[in-house]
Structures are given as C-alpha cells and as structure tokens.
Amino acid sequence: MLTVTAQSDTRLVIIGGASLGPRYIDWNFVATDKNLIETAKQRWQQQQFPSIPGDADDFIPLP
C-alpha cells in the first residue's frame, strides 16, 4: 500500500514491470553498455549533440 499526499497540483507516474537489466550511469549519461557511455562522452566533448531550443548556449564540460 502506498499513500501519496501532494502539497499542490501534481502529476505522478508510477511505472513497473520486469527488470530491464543492468544500467550504467556516468554524469548525465545512462546506458545498458559502458561503451555506449564512452561514445556519448566523446560526442559531448566534440559538441555533437543538438542544442535544446530555449536552453542556454553555454557548453558544460565533463566533470
């Protein structure tokens, strides 16, 4: 049993099901394979990701 009380208008999503398997996390990257994260980190450093409309244009380097 779960009880949730919101202090203001709230949207809540609860997702369940069978395990999707292991996930790896490094900074803002999440993947099922560590090699995918390394590729994403390289692409980030080379600024190959599209910009997000309305977001600041500042480049944030990997930590």
pLDDT tens per residue across span 11-45: 999 899 999 899 999 999 999 999 999 999 999 99
Band of the pLDDT at 1, cuts 50, 70, 90?
confident
pLDDT band for position 57 (50/70/90)?
A: confident
* Predicted TM-score of the model (pTM): 0.66
Where does residue 21 fall: left (phi above 0), alpha (psi -120 to 50 degrees), or beta otherwise? left
Residue 28, burial from CB neighbour count under 10 angstroms (0-12, 13-18, 19+): exposed
